[in-house]
Amino acid sequence: MADLTQFDANAAGNPNNNIFGLPFKEEDASLVILPVPWEVTVSCTAGTARAPDHIFKSSRQIDIFDIENSEGWKKGFYMRPPDKKVLLKSDYLRKEAELYIDYISKGEPVNINTFIAKSIREINEGSIYLNNWVYEQTSNLLSKGKLVALLGGDHSTPFGYLKALTEKWGSFGILQIDAHCNLRKAYMNFVYSHASVIYNTLQEVPQISKIVQVGVRDFSGEEWDYMHQHTDKVITYFDRDIKEQLYEGKTWQQFADQIVNDLPDKVYLSFDVDGLDPKLCPNSGTPVFGGLEIDQVLYLVKKIIQSGRRLIGFDLCEVGVDEKEWDANVGARILWKLCNLLVLSNE
């Protein structure tokens, strides 16, 4: 265990320490944050691949006293450095994806262009590589008894982690905070697109017993049909419906109780920040007006824990990058709260 006798929890974050200025090494930490610097298939604004670095730097500005779990940090939080090989692969394939997206946006057929056909093949192969890499990293950490938080990157990044979690926990449910359903099949021919991660999860990870989506407000007719055809697996709380019922007198506590009741005993949180009001993370990959407040999400997670359900892991994805580091600051604070809640749920 780390020696905390010389650590001043009230001092400014030490730049020589790890995330949040904490003095832990990976072997001492009960919770390990795995950054996944990947954004190959984003369909709007890029930048999320470099979010983990920016969040790491912003994290030192956080006061580590947390009223929800004041001693939680003493269990040890550690963030691995982003893997440079993964980032370089993402950068290369992102350029290929941009050329491909530009090409198909003009209505050109893919099969007559050898270069474009090669690009889509390389992108899909790269996504499989990423899924396997995430699975191997998270599976190894789970086998060591670590709690794992995944930090994206785009929302395709947790797919391999979900597979690893089933080997440890068996069946569980997912609480998805998101502006989007991510139920598209091979969006733009990207099989493992960020817009397809929930579809792929339902197709390939049968141990997932329930997906409860909250904050959704941007979706296709294809996704609408899929939701209604799979009501046994997918429950969606649309942002419009939430707002209208709140205006008419329903409380967020009532919504939270209803959402919690929809979830099984073991819950994974998949948190795409575009599920929030875009004033909070305006540089997210695909911002949409409307959305939730951070306190609403944290209240919901606390209600899950208070219900006796177990939070088994989480991802935080789609945090953007901006010159003033606003998004990174918000992302770091969300990450801090979720780390403390994950530890609290597993005490």
Tokens of 343: 């530890």
In a domain, 265, yes or no: yes
- DSSP letter for 214, please: E
Q: How far, in Å, CA of 61 to CA of 241, rounded?
A: 37
Run of H or E residues at 167 = helix 159-169
Q: Would residue 1 count as lying in a domain?
A: no
Q: Is residue 14 part of a domain?
A: no
In this structure, what CATH number is given to the domain that contains residue 219?
3.40.800.10
Query: What's residue 44's pLDDT?
Result: 73
DSSP states of 281-347:
STTSSS--SS-B-HHHHHHHHHHHHHTT-EEEEEEEE-----TT-HHHHHHHHHHHHHHHHHHHHT-
Whether the CA torsion 183, 220, 118, 127 is positive or negative: it is: negative
Residue 10 domain-assigned (yes or no)? no
Task: Identify whether 112 is part of a domain.
Answer: yes
Beta strand pairing status for 310-317 and 147-152? parallel
In a domain, 9, yes or no: no
State residue 207's pLDDT score: 97
In the chain, count H helices and then E strands.
10, 8
User: Does a structural domain hold residue 240?
Assistant: yes
Number of domains observed in the structure of the chain: 1
- The pairing of strands 310-317 and 234-238 is unpaired
SS3 71: coil
Q: Which residues of 65-103 are buried (b: 16+ CB within 10 A; e: fewer)?
A: ebeebeebbbbbbbbbebbeebbebbbebbebbeebeeb
Whether residue 8 is contained in a domain is answered as no
- pLDDT tens track, the chain, 347 positions: 688 888 999 998 888 999 999 999 999 999 999 999 999 998 777 789 999 999 999 999 999 999 989 999 999 999 999 999 999 999 999 999 999 999 988 887 888 888 889 999 999 999 999 999 999 999 999 999 999 999 999 999 999 999 999 999 999 999 999 999 999 999 999 999 999 999 999 999 999 999 999 999 999 999 999 999 999 999 999 999 999 999 999 999 999 999 999 999 999 999 999 999 999 999 998 889 999 999 999 999 999 999 999 999 999 999 999 988 999 999 999 999 999 999 999 99
- Round to whole Å and give the CA distance between 63 and 91: 34
Q: Which tokens sit at 289?
A: 């007006």
Query: What is the domain extent for residue 326?
Result: 19-345
Q: How far apart are CA 195 and CA 186, in angstroms?
A: 8
